[in-house]
Structure 1
Amino acid sequence: MNKVWAEVCCEIPAAMVDLVADYLVELTGNGVSIDNLEVDTFSIDTIRESPVKTVRGYFAPGDGLDARIAELEQFLREHGPRFGADSIPTPSVTMIREEDWATGWRQHFAPARIGRHLVIKPTWEPFAPLPGDLVIELDPGMAFGTGTHPTTRLCLEALEEIVAALPTADASPLAVLDVGTGSGILAIAAAKLGARRVVGTDIDPDAVVVAAENCTLNGVADTVELVTTPLAAIPGVFAVTLANILAEDLVRMAGELAVKVATGGFLVLSGILREREEYVIAGFTATGLSLRSARHDGEWSCLVYRRGA
């Protein structure tokens, strides 16, 4: 029998999205979804930004549900004025089946070209590749990561450029570490781009299951090792380490991330709001890595560091 969830929808100012999303993750212990209220297209590239967005959190129904929603309402009342919202609509509650939660977003996930050669294609969509295309078939399931979000796009673009610039005369196998692998998209891309050893780690066992399915679907299961092992316990160093997670977690893990970067290797940090970019840079000043570039897409930032040869 399918599990039933209480889907709680909050209509809030767009600038408040990250604050509310982080709070809902903490309050529910589950993932959230964010909707643009002006979606009138099936192409992700033409979605218009809206001043008001819907953040959806998912609660397991039970005796404590009313108390948690009351906490959420209080949070919105307290923080809304900071974002120009003196009054925020009362969150709505809808009971849904887990299968509806897991698949309802699919209508907005279309094939997307990223960088020079990478193409992210949902498993249920037809696509005719061009010569040289590296197609990643993806079914994110309940895990985060379709490749369409700017944080993932920035990471993929940086990864492709780094791999393309590495010396071809180096006979050592390219090793890549993907921290917070989610759906496995970055790990799969690394393998498609030529990495011979890829390790993807995530604290969520369900994400690792989904990532493993996607690796098998893309024919890279023999190259990608997926684990729930803590970062500090993963052996070895890597030519490229990728971390597409929250800015606060990046800074908290700065030392652990830095020691995984091989001499001459790269560390790619994404998931950073531009307003938090300087905060992350400051958090990595003592790591011994040098900042090589910062790239941006809208309100998001991606930082590329390198360990000197």
Structure 2
Amino acid sequence: MKLSECVDAGDDARLLVLIETEDGRCARFLCSELQEMGEISCYDKSGTWQLGMLAHSGVKFDVCLTAVQEKLESLNSRGGSDQAELVETRLVSGSTASLAAAPVTIGSFTLVSQAEKECRPHEIFFDGGKAFGSGSHPSTRLAVSLLEAAADQMSTAEVLDVGCGSGVLSLISARLGVRRTVGVDICSDSLAVARRNVEQNNLCDCITILNTPVQDIAGPFDLIMANLTLSVLYCLLADLGRLSRVGGLLIVSGLQGQQAQGVLPRLQESGWQLEKSAREGKWQAMLLRRIANDNAGLRPA
């Protein structure tokens, strides 16, 4: 397949690929497979999943397009309902290229641009800005899947979102009925984006965004969400235990490869019990319950 019309895309042009499938599992699989090639958006539009990939700057067009085609051919050769179609390819100017305004389906919610005039019950006004947490990353999707799995236990819960980034997990927790969510981050860009998203969704009464180190936060909380790198997670293990009620829940995401198996014994030693795990490609997340309140001997690795 040749690239579509791309007149005046410029020397900094980037490849934009649009894919459609009617199978949600297929869409999530492709999101995971294409994540390393570029920025991803994924949207369920009336039963048809629309996936967009904007290739990273500097990626060779032909190489990237060939890789996408090969993944689709491999997927479609399996037969069954998990079929996907490459519906459009084009070059866009690198100076203006963005998927930020594209809707993203995550769990039972859809993140939509704040330019939309109305927000339906399953939609959340959202702008990722420069903050981590666009909603399209596997670690975010996994965290949301575990958050929704625990939703029936959270009607009166108090939740802590550690490293809240854009605030996407805080927003979804509030929309799931959580009474109070505290999001914390030390990045000024993230704080500004998260606060703007909270205001746009009229959730200021139930979400508070703080520029406060985790070590200075006072608990306890019924649920803690930690979509973090492994090194940061290790450093915060003692605080996560201190901030949780006995019987409280912890969602850990952002783990790759064998990292979940590596950190699980440390979590168990510090009073956590595994309730459920989730995987998407190389990414993993865990839902744990606090069964003890003893951090004795626990030190960062």
Structure 2 CA distance for partners of 1:176 and 1:47, relative to 1, 3 Å? closer
- State the TM-score, normalized to the length of structure 1: 0.63
Structure with the larger helix share: 1
1:197 corresponds, among 175, 180, 186, to 180
| 2:161 and 2:183 in contact (8 A); partners too | yes
Q: Give the residue type in structure 2 aligned to 1:198.
A: T
RMSD of the alignment, in Å? 3.0
Q: Which residue of 2 aligns with 1:122?
A: 113
Structure 2 CA distance for partners of 1:299 and 1:108, relative to 1, 3 Å? farther
Cα shift at 1:106: 2.9
**Counterparts of 1:254 and 1:105 in 2: how far apart (Å)?**
39
Cα shift at 1:152: 0.4
2:150 corresponds, among 159, 162, 178, to 162
**Counterparts of 2:97 and 2:146 in 1: how far apart (Å)?**
27
Q: Give the residue type in structure 1 aligned to 2:112.
A: K
**Counterparts of 2:231 and 2:249 in 1: how far apart (Å)?**
20
Q: Which residue of 1 aligns with 2:129?
A: 141
Q: Which residue of 1 aligns with 2:211?
A: 228
| 1:38 and 1:50 in contact (8 A); partners too | no
Structure 2 CA distance for partners of 1:128 and 1:200, relative to 1, 3 Å? closer
| 1:138 and 1:214 in contact (8 A); partners too | yes
* Deviations 1:177-196 (CA, angstroms, capped at 9, x unpaired): 00000101111111111111
**Counterparts of 2:19 and 2:144 in 1: how far apart (Å)?**
23
Q: Give the residue type in structure 1 aligned to 2:111.
A: I
Cα shift at 1:118: 2.0
What SS does structure 1 have at the residue aligned with 2:224?
Answer: strand
Alignment size in residue pairs? 219
Cα shift at 1:144: 1.2
| 1:109 and 1:146 in contact (8 A); partners too | no
Cα shift at 1:213: 0.4
Structure 2 CA distance for partners of 1:247 and 1:137, relative to 1, 3 Å? same
**Counterparts of 1:48 and 1:305 in 2: how far apart (Å)?**
24
* Deviations 1:71-122 (CA, angstroms, capped at 9, x unpaired): xxxxxxxxxxxxxxxxxxxxxxxxxxxxx99x9563365323333x322223
Q: Which residue of 1 aligns with 2:61?
A: none
Cα shift at 1:54: 7.0
Q: Give the residue type in structure 2 aligned to 1:120.
A: L
1:283 corresponds, among 257, 260, 266, to 266
Q: Which residue of 2 aligns with 1:73?
A: none
Q: Which residue of 2 aligns with 1:112?
A: 104
What SS does structure 2 have at the residue aligned with 1:136?
Answer: strand
Equivalent positions of 1:240-259 (< 5 A) are 240-259=223-242
Answer yes or no: is 1:40 the counterpart of 2:17.
Answer: yes
Q: Which residue of 2 aligns with 1:91?
A: none
Q: Give the residue type in structure 2 aligned to 1:107.
A: L
Q: Which residue of 1 aligns with 2:59?
A: none
| 2:165 and 2:194 in contact (8 A); partners too | yes
Q: Which residue of 1 aligns with 2:291?
A: 308
Cα shift at 1:286: 2.0
Structure 2 CA distance for partners of 1:193 and 1:282, relative to 1, 3 Å? same
* Deviations 1:48-77 (CA, angstroms, capped at 9, x unpaired): 84697479xxxxxxxxxxxxxxxxxxxxxx
Structure 2 CA distance for partners of 1:105 and 1:270, relative to 1, 3 Å? farther
| 2:247 and 2:289 in contact (8 A); partners too | yes
Percent of matched pairs sharing the same residue: 30
**Counterparts of 2:109 and 2:158 in 1: how far apart (Å)?**
19
**Unmatched tracts of structure 2, length 5 or more:** 1-13, 21-26, 40-92, 293-301
| 2:119 and 2:125 in contact (8 A); partners too | no
Q: Which residue of 2 aligns with 1:270?
A: 253
What SS does structure 1 have at the residue aligned with 2:17?
Answer: coil
- State the TM-score, normalized to the length of structure 2: 0.65
**Counterparts of 2:262 and 2:276 in 1: how far apart (Å)?**
16
| 1:183 and 1:211 in contact (8 A); partners too | yes
Q: Give the residue type in structure 1 aligned to 2:104.
A: A
**Counterparts of 1:230 and 1:189 in 2: how far apart (Å)?**
22
| 1:258 and 1:267 in contact (8 A); partners too | no
**Counterparts of 1:236 and 1:52 in 2: how far apart (Å)?**
37
Cα shift at 1:47: 5.6
Q: Give the residue type in structure 1 aligned to 2:17.
A: D
What SS does structure 2 have at the residue aligned with 1:110?
Answer: coil
